[in-house]
Amino acid sequence: MDKVIAHIDANKERYQKELFELLRIPSISADPDRAGDIRKAAEWTRDKLTAMGCEARLEETGGHPVVYGEWLKAEGKPTVLFYGHYDVQPPDPLDLWETPPFEPTVRGDNVFARGSADDKGQFLANVLGIEAFMQADGGPPCNVKFIIEGEEEVTSHNLEKWVGAHTDLLKCDHIVISDSAQFARGYPAICYGLRGICYMEVFLKGPAMDLHSGEFGGAVTNPCNALARIIAQLHDPETGKITIPGIYDDVVELTKEEREEFAKLPFDEPGYKKHLGVDALPGEQGFSVLERVWTRPTCDVNGITGGYTGKGAKTVIASEASAKISMRLVPNQDPDKIQQAFEDYIRTLCPPGVTVRFENHGKAKPALVPTDSPALSIARNALEKGFGNKTVLMRGGGSIPVVETFQDKLGVGSLLVGYGLPDDNLHSPNEKFSLEDYHRGIKTAAYLVDELAKAS
Amino acid sequence: MDKVIAHIDANKERYQKELFELLRIPSISADPDRAGDIRKAAEWTRDKLTAMGCEARLEETGGHPVVYGEWLKAEGKPTVLFYGHYDVQPPDPLDLWETPPFEPTVRGDNVFARGSADDKGQFLANVLGIEAFMQADGGPPCNVKFIIEGEEEVTSHNLEKWVGAHTDLLKCDHIVISDSAQFARGYPAICYGLRGICYMEVFLKGPAMDLHSGEFGGAVTNPCNALARIIAQLHDPETGKITIPGIYDDVVELTKEEREEFAKLPFDEPGYKKHLGVDALPGEQGFSVLERVWTRPTCDVNGITGGYTGKGAKTVIASEASAKISMRLVPNQDPDKIQQAFEDYIRTLCPPGVTVRFENHGKAKPALVPTDSPALSIARNALEKGFGNKTVLMRGGGSIPVVETFQDKLGVGSLLVGYGLPDDNLHSPNEKFSLEDYHRGIKTAAYLVDELAKAS
């Protein structure tokens, strides 16, 4: 291992150069006009894998291609599958970026660019950790496979099918995903739980046309007011609990040990509030902020619109109002069951004079990895070596749908080894990634395959 | 009068031609790009008044000009001031118009065009009623003044000042406004009461930036959810009453006689529901639909927006959400007092984790004209003769701020003599005006000045 680590240290500058090359490609999966850039990023990734010695190719999926690569010359050794994504979120609003999103710029220890942390910098760290073995030691001590997809930011809708159709190709012993974050600077973390999601849109239809609010105000049910009342009734104002009947039925409650572990984490509540610019963090009673974000379901409006939203005044009663409402789900909630409970409950809340219809915009199951598995311990150790700090166990509030897909189709749980930081501005302007953590991530990937091979 | 009426009947075709000329000018006051068309409509109106024998001119106001015209040769006779407006609402959404909004098109008895009923057809009827006297009888039996303004659809914000600065010029005995409607086809009506308005916008600010709803959902107060809860608390769900403390304190309750009169009106509730496309008309308990629309305050959301409102899903917690909320006010409510009560109440509803700010987008006082005045009886008679049907007394749910301005600055109440119909689609696509009612309106204007002269 020493020569591998020395090789990594000797190539620091080249690693940055390669990351910047990839960050310059605006591979925005949500934007149809960027299809060319998406393919460019896929080809860049394939060529990188090929150049370092993998067999690599683009796999067409009906959407953006999956980059698949493999190196299977470690006979009798376990196979580690690394997952990542080369697509990025749209950079809007552009005027809030201090430097252009696709011109990687170093300030302090960080590179600022869209996709730097999510997920180009993180998946590339894993690729380069394997490359170091190839260049310094003739090859890694494990077999490795890579799936780097191009639709993660648009809910990976073609990946599940592709994985299902390629279960033999993807056979593996371990899955490593680096698309999450450390708990805080100096606290590298393994994420062992993720929330799922059920994302709904509710449309309330009242009068057949927009009405003059003077001529008709008082006569009709106003869809905007009615929608507000429905949303208000989704939570109990006293306890902060969601009121959808049955929503907590399947929730796995936290163990005493988990609560104690979470309480030990150095969560900086004043700093967190300051970062968010809020003076209070209210929420479900009886749970800490971390417990709420990691282990409790939510019911958040993600968007609402109705009536006149331009400048000044228009005296109108809207014909229709709508809200996008997503529920984050926790182990052991089932998105289909929750969707049904949500729709049933809202139908009971819908007042006379309006009608309701629904659309679903996506569902993902929550994920929970056993914290006592040998692989998890190995990943903890590797991360500790790579980062030089004790690893903590945490959960995440977001969803990585592919975790559930892998569990379901391949029968393998994922190790979520995150190299980012919680303030990396994912999906926001001025996304960043620590270049030191990038380097530590490369080392972590090397230690990880080394230890997994040793344990086999 | 016989020759005047005969003259009106003989000129029916020309009247339509002139109306269509005016309707073709897209004088949209809200649209800065239409300033040229606004002026064109003002000049057309001025030229019409000049051509028929008035002294007429444009009066600059700082906004769109007021057309002022006068004919003061009926010495010793009363002066009647006619008010109207040559500006129109924007025609959007254009795709819902069956024929283009500024190409007047006749279907059945109606002309379809933006501004046909609101207010070009109605004010022109009054102008042409006076013209008929000039052409058939040497001049009207009263002195007449015209104020045709260009900012009614943008809350007449320059008119109040202009009226205040020209009280001598505008001195008069009666004011006639034709900018309302009959109660129903065959039920010509005098409107003796109007609601006022207080139009607010509420902005709720939560976190400093939009947040990922996975990473932060459960930790922060979501401004969209919080806004919905605030709006929900503006009404009592059981009684439909507004919950703003003190809001009903100054409301003049309906008399037993008024309620009886309203109940006698042939309000077609099934037809009304069918026209609006709703199956129920819920509202404040203890009041009929007409009572609610004409005599009870409202608190309606006119527009709401927050978070992601594009297609599909974005997992975001918005930094800010806002709602336009207007309260229709009834005699004797004071808009300033109501604004204060609204802001005070909402501040008490604002939960921790968000802050609130307000903007006011307009205020108008309610208006109520005594139903036992001699002028009102005369207007009833004139309308009965013009329309050949018994006149009913009604109120209106909308606001005509100028009524209060005239009362305040000139000390004269207004006669609201409406020629339109309640289903004329004002402010909506496919605005229309009955050409028969246009003709009857011209006759009504002639009868009105005749009777007002006789009574003096």
Q: Is the peptide bond before A119 cis (omega within 30 degrees of 0)?
A: yes
Q: Is A292 on the interface with B (CB under 8 A)?
A: yes
Query: What span, in angstroms and rounded, lies between the C-alpha atoms of A20 and A393?
Result: 31
The verdict on B151 and B223 lying in the same domain is no
Chain A residue numbers with beta carbons less than 8 Å from the beta carbon of B351 are 282
Q: Is A289 on the interface with B (CB under 8 A)?
A: yes
Chain A residue numbers with beta carbons less than 8 Å from the beta carbon of B277 are 207-209
Mean pLDDT, residues A255-266 taken together: 93
The verdict on A245 and A165 lying in the same domain is no
Partner A, chain B 339-398, Cβ-Cβ below 8 Å: 351-354, 361-362, 396-398
Whole-number pLDDT of residue B321: 98
Whole-number pLDDT of residue A154: 85
Query: What span, in angstroms and rounded, lies between the C-alpha atoms of B170 and B408?
Result: 13
Mean pLDDT, residues B373-399 taken together: 93
Cβ–Cβ below 8 Å for B303 and A296: no
Minimal Cα–Cα distance from B427 to chain A, Å?
7
The verdict on B254 and B372 lying in the same domain is no
Known catalytic residues of A?
A: 87, 152
pLDDT tens-digit map of A210-233: 999 999 999 999 999 999 999 999
Minimal Cα–Cα distance from B393 to chain A, Å?
16
Q: Which of A217, A308, A354 sits opposite B324 (nearest CB)?
A: A308
> What is the span of the domain harbouring residue B154?
2-194+366-455
Q: Which residue of A has its CA nearest to B320?
A: A303
The verdict on B308 and B259 lying in the same domain is yes
Query: What span, in angstroms and rounded, lies between the C-alpha atoms of B335 and B199?
Result: 9
The chain-wide mean pLDDT, for chain B, equals 95
Residue B428 has pLDDT above 90, yes or no: no
The amino acid present at B16, given as its one-letter code, is Q
The verdict on A152 and A174 lying in the same domain is yes
Q: Which of these three, B364, B386, B410, is where a domain ends?
A: B364
Whole-number pLDDT of residue A156: 84
Contact B85, B45 (CB under 8 A): no
Minimal Cα–Cα distance from A76 to chain B, Å?
40
Cα atoms found within 13 Å of the Cα of residue A26, Cβ hemisphere only: 12
User: Burial code of A256-270, b = ≥16 C-beta within 10 A, e = fewer?
Assistant: eebbeebeebeeeee
Q: Which residue of B has its CA nearest to A313?
A: B361
Residue A57 falls inside a structural domain: yes
Query: What span, in angstroms and rounded, lies between the C-alpha atoms of A343 and A359?
Result: 10
Contact B323, A224 (CB under 8 A): yes
Cβ–Cβ below 8 Å for A352 and B235: no
Cβ–Cβ below 8 Å for B309 and A293: no
Chain B residue numbers with beta carbons less than 8 Å from the beta carbon of A396 are 214-215
Residue A328 has pLDDT above 90, yes or no: yes
The verdict on A167 and A245 lying in the same domain is no
Query: What span, in angstroms and rounded, lies between the C-alpha atoms of B83 and A453?
Result: 91
| Total of domains in chain A | 2
Whole-number pLDDT of residue A92: 85
Q: Which of B276, B280, B427 sits opposite A352 (nearest CB)?
A: B280
The verdict on A351 and A435 lying in the same domain is no
Residue B399 has pLDDT above 90, yes or no: no
Sign, CA torsion A396/A401/A407/A408: positive
Cβ–Cβ below 8 Å for A224 and B218: no
Q: Which of these three, B317, B345, B364, is where a domain ends?
A: B364
The verdict on A6 and A75 lying in the same domain is yes
Q: Which of A316, A326, A397 sits opposite B302 (nearest CB)?
A: A316
Contact A187, A437 (CB under 8 A): no
Cβ–Cβ below 8 Å for B313 and A300: no
Q: Which of these three, B341, B364, B387, is where a domain ends?
A: B364
pLDDT tens-digit map of B32-85: 899 999 999 999 999 999 999 999 999 999 999 999 999 999 999 999 999 999
Whole-number pLDDT of residue B301: 98
Residue A268 falls inside a structural domain: no
Residue A325 falls inside a structural domain: yes
Q: Can you give the length of chain A in residues?
A: 456
Q: Is A255 on the interface with B (CB under 8 A)?
A: no
Contact B302, A213 (CB under 8 A): yes
Residue A287 falls inside a structural domain: no
Q: Which residue of B has its CA nearest to A206?
A: B278
pLDDT tens-digit map of A138-176: 999 999 999 999 999 887 879 999 999 999 999 999 999
pLDDT tens-digit map of B123-167: 999 999 999 999 999 999 999 999 999 999 887 879 999 999 999
The chain-wide mean pLDDT, for chain A, equals 95
Interface test with A, best of B304, B322, B360 (most A CBs within 10 A): B304
Pairing of strands A367-368, A189-194: antiparallel
User: What CATH number corresponds to the domain at position A85?
Assistant: 3.40.630.10
What are the counts of helices (DSSP H) followed by strands (DSSP E) for chain A?
Answer: 14, 18
User: What CATH number corresponds to the domain at position A336?
Assistant: 3.30.70.360
Query: What span, in angstroms and rounded, lies between the C-alpha atoms of A175 and A410?
Result: 10
pLDDT tens-digit map of B224-251: 999 999 999 999 999 999 999 999 999 9
Whole-number pLDDT of residue A42: 98
The verdict on A21 and A44 lying in the same domain is yes
Contact B431, B424 (CB under 8 A): yes
| Sole residue written with tokens 């199956």 | B279
Phi-psi region of B262 (alpha: psi -120 to 50; beta: other; left: phi over 0): alpha
User: Burial code of B425-442, b = ≥16 C-beta within 10 A, e = fewer?
Assistant: bbbbbbbbbbbebbbbbb
Q: Which residue of B has its CA nearest to A180?
A: B215
Cβ–Cβ below 8 Å for A222 and B318: no
Whole-number pLDDT of residue B411: 94
Mean pLDDT, residues A362-390 taken together: 92
Whole-number pLDDT of residue A424: 93
pLDDT confidence bin for B359, thresholds 50/70/90: very high
Q: Which of B217, B399, B426 sits opposite A293 (nearest CB)?
A: B217
pLDDT tens-digit map of A392-450: 999 999 988 899 899 999 999 999 999 999 889 988 899 999 999 999 999 999 999 99
Whole-number pLDDT of residue B156: 84
Q: Is B195 on the interface with A (CB under 8 A)?
A: yes
pLDDT tens-digit map of A56-100: 999 999 999 999 999 999 999 999 999 999 999 999 889 999 999
The verdict on A301 and A450 lying in the same domain is no
- Listed in sequence order, the residues at least 6 apart from B60 whose beta carbon sits closer than 8 Å to its beta carbon are none
Cα angle: A276, vertex A278, A284; to 5 degrees: 100
The verdict on A240 and A124 lying in the same domain is no
Which helix (H) or strand (E) covers residue A342, if one does? helix A335-349
Q: At what angle do helices A121-137 and A435-455 cross, to 10 degrees?
A: 60
Q: Can you give the length of chain B in residues?
A: 456
The verdict on B71 and B162 lying in the same domain is yes
Contact B149, B119 (CB under 8 A): no
Partner A, chain B 139-168, Cβ-Cβ below 8 Å: 155
Residue A312 has pLDDT above 90, yes or no: no
pLDDT tens-digit map of B2-19: 999 999 999 999 999 999
Q: Is B328 on the interface with A (CB under 8 A)?
A: yes
Q: What are phi and psi of B196, to 5 degrees?
A: -95, -170
Distance spanning both ends of chain B, measured CA to CA: 17
User: Could you give the percent of chain B with pLDDT greater than 90?
Assistant: 89
Our answer to whether residue B450 is catalytic in this structure is no
Residue A416 falls inside a structural domain: yes
Q: Which of B224, B301, B314 sits opposite A225 (nearest CB)?
A: B301
